């Protein structure tokens, strides 16, 4: 007799099989919408439809070796970054961490594009693992690219409220979410510092139930990426929120923790030292003196002014609005539009209440403006990667120098000297893939909140790292958005604003202690005059190994109750 899970997915054989030899994820797909996701907009895509799976497999085998080229980016990875790929290829669930600028986002992108092909070669199989990138907010998902989705949307859990059992029933009614859970081989969650322990435990339970597998997360491989010294999970004032590393699911299912240490974004050793201290909430007198010296630097005379990073949204809105109103040049207003990119499903109505709710949430979470007013000489920032080879990427700063006479598109001169008209960019609405938001990918950049800037690299910034920073890690996030001291201007500075959450400090200290040999641990015990608590929410039964400066924390099979 069929189980209920099997019954739901019984269906007639596909009428066509689509072999994708060169695309986002090469492989065989039994529907055009799935195949289209892999080839749409992909340069040099190679694919073909067949009536039988055997024909599709033959085509794939004949063509995949012709199109497969190891991405040159593999050769650009540092040894510590390559160690992450090694553990993933061994099937380990990995937590990847490190301070700002160590190359976590770049490595994540390489994993997404290269891991499937590497696994195929390793297994000698045409079947490629399916990877899904997720983030906790729409803005963070857009920064990731690679068709990243919000975790809540991918999982089909809405706001994530309710018990795991209630969410299970909700997902069972959502065919697309069910397919996500059953078909994904590697789930990557970025900005994990914003993920609560409660939600991680729910995801673990859901994975087991939905995939009918008692292994952690139902046997789906997991990669968590982020820095817990950054901004913590958002919680209501009446709630106490735990970090993801405090979850039972973490103890049960995260096998390896790797902390990258080699700075990629900041090349200035002095600034590197300041960032390491700021991350831990412990600035030395020397570092304080350097930052105070940045308070007096002139920025007002610059043609392209640094972006002001402030802790509160009200301040940012006031600064941007007042600066915009002070300009008297030509102006244009651009309204975000709803664009239909694919076939509209039968019965769909734009006025549908559920669609409008999803659209409103997408608008709220995204970085574009619903109504964007620009005036000549506006300070602006790109919010999409439009020409990476020309240095025009998310976070690129510039000044509006005019408008195209024929198209009315804004013309921006960027800090790297490139001058270019900026056309519309499309943001696919993940729950409704047949439509997207179209808007000019610019935002006013006199000021930005620290929360909005998390995950971005800025060409230059004037940061408020004074007493107005109200959250753990907030001042550190602001400081670490720039690449060098030369790009840093300080509006206000108070060393007390650099605060690391005590639970986070304890977690990373236990990670660090796990690298010591028994003699070093005994010395700490002796000096402290008390037993050393080795119970780590992520750590560990055995001392970790050090691989060329990489902190690798290896987990044995730890039961949820072992602590």
Summarize the confidence of residues 29-56 as an average pLDDT: 78
% of the chain surpassing 70 pLDDT: 82
Measured distance CA(197)–CA(188) in Å, rounded: 16
Confidence grade of residue 4 (pLDDT, cut at 50, 70, 90): very low
The fold of the 14-67 domain, in CATH, is Ribonuclease HI; Chain A (3.40.970)
Confidence grade of residue 68 (pLDDT, cut at 50, 70, 90): very low
Higher pLDDT, 406 or 69: 406
pLDDT for position 272: 87
% of the chain surpassing 90 pLDDT: 45
Distances in whole angstroms, Cα of residue 390 to Cα of each of 385, 393, 419, 482: 10, 8, 10, 19
Question: What are the residue ranges spanned by the domains of the chain?
Answer: 14-67, 91-260, 307-459
- What is the phi/psi pair of residue 393, to 5°? -130, 170
pLDDT at residue 387 is higher than 90: no
Confidence grade of residue 13 (pLDDT, cut at 50, 70, 90): low
pLDDT at residue 516 is higher than 60: no
Summarize the confidence of residues 12-19 as an average pLDDT: 70
pLDDT for position 373: 96
Summarize the confidence of residues 226-242 as an average pLDDT: 76
Confidence grade of residue 545 (pLDDT, cut at 50, 70, 90): very low
Measured distance CA(376)–CA(379) in Å, rounded: 9
pLDDT at residue 66 is higher than 70: no
pLDDT at residue 556 is higher than 50: no
**What's the mean per-residue pLDDT of the chain?**
82
Count of beta carbons in the 10 Å neighbourhood of residue 367: 21
Q: For residue range 77-96, what is the model confidence (pLDDT) as tens digits?
A: 888 899 999 999 999 999 99
Low-confidence winner among 177-191, 213-227, 279-293, 345-359 (lowest mean pLDDT): 345-359
Higher pLDDT, 286 or 385: 286
Measured distance CA(79)–CA(81) in Å, rounded: 5
Tokens of 372: 């964007």
pLDDT for position 451: 86
For 91-260, which CATH class? alpha beta
pLDDT for position 30: 76
Q: What is the pTM of this model?
A: 0.71
Summarize the confidence of residues 140-163 as an average pLDDT: 84
Summarize the confidence of residues 40-61 as an average pLDDT: 78
Confidence grade of residue 535 (pLDDT, cut at 50, 70, 90): very low
pLDDT at residue 510 is higher than 90: no
pLDDT at residue 104 is higher than 70: yes
Tokens of 385: 């990667």
Q: Are 445 and 435 contacting, i.e. CB atoms less than 8 angstroms apart?
A: no
Q: Are 283 and 411 contacting, i.e. CB atoms less than 8 angstroms apart?
A: no
Per-residue DSSP letter, 211: T
Measured distance CA(120)–CA(25) in Å, rounded: 11
Confidence grade of residue 549 (pLDDT, cut at 50, 70, 90): very low
Q: Which of 451-455, 512-516, 538-542 has the highest mean pLDDT?
A: 451-455
pLDDT for position 519: 52
SS3 428: strand
Summarize the confidence of residues 394-423 as an average pLDDT: 93
Confidence grade of residue 190 (pLDDT, cut at 50, 70, 90): very high
Higher pLDDT, 146 or 300: 300
């Amino acid at each position: 007799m069929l189980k209920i899970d099997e019954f739901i997915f019984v269906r007639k054989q596909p009428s066509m099989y689509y072999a994708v030899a060169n695309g986002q994820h090469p492989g065989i797909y039994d529907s055009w919408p799935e195949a289209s996701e892999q080839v749409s907009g992909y340069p040099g895509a190679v694919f073909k439809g067949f009536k039988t799976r055997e024909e599709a497999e033959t085509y794939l085998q004949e063509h995949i070796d012709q199109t497969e080229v190891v991405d040159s980016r593999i050769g650009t990875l540092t040894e510590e970054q390559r160690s992450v790929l090694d553990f993933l290829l061994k099937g380990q669930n990995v937590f990847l961490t490190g301070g700002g600028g160590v190359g976590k986002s770049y490595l994540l992108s390489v994993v997404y594009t290269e891991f499937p092909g590497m696994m195929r070669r390793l297994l000698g199989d045409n079947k490629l693992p399916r990877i899904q990138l997720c983030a906790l907010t729409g803005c963070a998902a857009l920064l990731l690219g690679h068709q990243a989705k919000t975790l809540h949307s991918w999982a089909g859990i809405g706001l994530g409220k309710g018990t795991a059992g209630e969410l299970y029933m909700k997902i069972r009614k959502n065919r697309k979410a069910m397919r996500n859970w059953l078909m994904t081989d590697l789930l990557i969650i970025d900005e994990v510092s914003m993920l609560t322990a409660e939600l991680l435990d729910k995801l673990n339970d859901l994975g087991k139930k939905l995939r009918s597998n008692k292994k952690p997360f139902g046997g789906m491989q997991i990669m968590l990426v982020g820095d817990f010294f950054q901004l913590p999970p958002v919680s209501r004032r009446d709630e106490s929120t735990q970090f993801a590393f405090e979850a039972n699911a973490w103890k049960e299912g995260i096998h390896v923790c790797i902390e990258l240490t080699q700075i990629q974004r900041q090349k200035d050793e002095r600034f590197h030292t300041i960032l390491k201290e700021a991350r831990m909430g412990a600035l030395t007198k020397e570092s304080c003196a350097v930052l105070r010296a940045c308070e007096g630097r002139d920025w007002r005379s610059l043609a392209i002014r640094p972006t002001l990073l402030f802790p509160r949204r009200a301040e940012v809105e006031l600064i941007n609005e007042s600066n915009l109103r002070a300009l008297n040049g030509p102006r244009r207003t651009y309204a975000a539009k709803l664009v239909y990119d694919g076939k509209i499903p039968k019965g769909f109505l734009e006025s549908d209440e559920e669609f409008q709710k999803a659209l409103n949430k997408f608008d709220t979470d995204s970085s574009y403006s619903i109504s964007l007013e620009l005036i000549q000489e506006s300070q602006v920032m790109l919010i999409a990667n439009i020409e990476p080879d020309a240095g025009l990427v998310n976070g690129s700063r510039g000044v509006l120098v005019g408008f195209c006479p024929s198209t009315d598109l804004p013309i921006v001169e960027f800090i790297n000297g490139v001058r270019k008209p900026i056309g519309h960019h499309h943001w696919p609405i993940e729950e409704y893939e047949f439509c997207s938001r179209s808007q000019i990918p610019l935002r006013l950049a006199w000021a930005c909140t620290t929360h909005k800037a998390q995950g971005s690299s800025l060409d230059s910034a004037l940061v408020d790292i004074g007493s107005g920073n109200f959250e753990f890690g907030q001042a550190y996030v602001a400081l670490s958005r720039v690449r060098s001291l030369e790009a840093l201007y300080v509006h206000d500075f108070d060393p007390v604003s650099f605060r690391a959450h005590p639970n986070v400090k304890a977690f990373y200290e236990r990670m660090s202690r796990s690298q010591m040999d028994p003699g070093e641990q005994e010395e700490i015990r002796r000096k402290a005059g008390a037993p050393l608590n080795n119970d780590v929410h992520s750590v560990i039964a055995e001392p970790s190994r050090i691989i060329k400066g990489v902190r690798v924390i290896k987990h044995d099979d730890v039961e949820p109750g072992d602590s």
